[in-house]
């Protein structure tokens, strides 16, 4: 790819440095989890963090596939979607169509979603990622789309009371200011549903969107 005259060329980093940079988030996650286990890690735990074998074992623990991720399986595949969204909760929803593709990535540790359709008469395209975060002890979800240049803050979720749905809570900034949302993914025979609610200042939940996805 030709160089960009507006930016200096990237300096090639030694492989050892690149490997160190790639492992830095994982080391930080391990240390963060250690702090969660004990607000005052004892000398034995601190010594283990300096032990390469103990650190390798801890890294393997966090890298292992999480059985909780299996709850995402109903959303993997090819789907046709029907989106209903409410600009005014007192009025009938606007309805549009679309399609979604989702697949496992990184050895089944996360699921990647790609959505295409239309919204408010304009082409809409978005992508997201979901997985079970062993450090947080929660499902995590991220989303970006062509209706904005910002990335929503990650949502964290847990299984719903029915044991199959996943309920995410998302708190993020937007051009309209801070937004607080609840997102509920509900698997069913032949597909799944996503229902989104805006959480108002008084704590009330207002339904804002529903996406019914049917497996193709």
Residue 22 has pLDDT above 70, yes or no: no
Q: Could you tell me if 111 and 104 are in contact, meaning their C-beta atoms sit under 8 angstroms apart? A: yes
Kindly list the structural domains of the chain, giving each domain's residue range(s) and its CATH number in brackets, ordered by start: 15-64 (no CATH), 68-215 (2.40.128.20)
Q: In angstroms, rounded to a whole number, what is the distance separating the alpha carbons of residues 173 and 178?
A: 4
Q: What is the pLDDT of residues 31-83, one digit of tens each?
A: 555 445 544 456 656 766 778 888 888 888 888 888 999 999 999 999 999 99
pLDDT in tens, 95-123: 999 999 999 999 999 999 999 999 888 99
Number of Cβ within a 10 Å radius of residue 136 = 14
pLDDT at position 114, please? 97
Q: Which residues, other chains included, contact 27 with Cβ-Cβ below 8 Å and sequence gap of 6+?
A: 55
Using an 8 Å Cβ cutoff, are 169 and 157 in contact?
A: yes
Supply the Cα-derived Rg of the chain in whole angstroms. Answer: 21
* Per-residue pLDDT tens over the stretch 172-208: 887 777 889 999 999 999 999 999 999 998 999 999 9
14 pLDDT band (50/70/90 cuts)? very low
């Amino acid at each position: 790819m030709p160089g960009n005259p507006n930016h200096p060329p990237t300096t090639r980093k030694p492989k050892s440095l690149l490997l160190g940079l790639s492992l830095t988030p994982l080391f930080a996650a391990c240390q963060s989890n250690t702090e969660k286990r004990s607000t005052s890690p004892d000398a034995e735990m601190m010594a283990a963090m300096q032990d390469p074998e103990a650190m390798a074992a801890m890294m393997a623990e966090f890298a292992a596939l999480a059985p909780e991720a299996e709850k995402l399986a109903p959303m993997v595949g090819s789907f046709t979607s029907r989106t209903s969204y409410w600009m005014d909760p007192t009025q009938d929803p606007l309805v549009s169509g679309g399609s979604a593709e989702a697949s496992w990535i990184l050895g089944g540790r996360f699921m990647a979603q790609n959505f295409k359709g239309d919204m408010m008469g304009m082409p809409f395209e978005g992508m997201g990622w979901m997985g079970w975060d062993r450090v947080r002890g929660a499902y995590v979800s991220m989303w970006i789309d062509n209706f904005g240049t910002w990335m929503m803050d990650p949502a964290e979720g847990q299984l719903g009371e029915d044991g199959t749905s996943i309920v995410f809570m998302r708190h993020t900034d937007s051009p309209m200011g801070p937004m607080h949302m609840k997102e509920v993914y509900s698997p069913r025979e032949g597909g799944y549903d996503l229902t989104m609610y805006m959480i108002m200042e008084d704590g009330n939940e207002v339904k804002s969107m529903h996406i019914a996805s049917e497996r193709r």
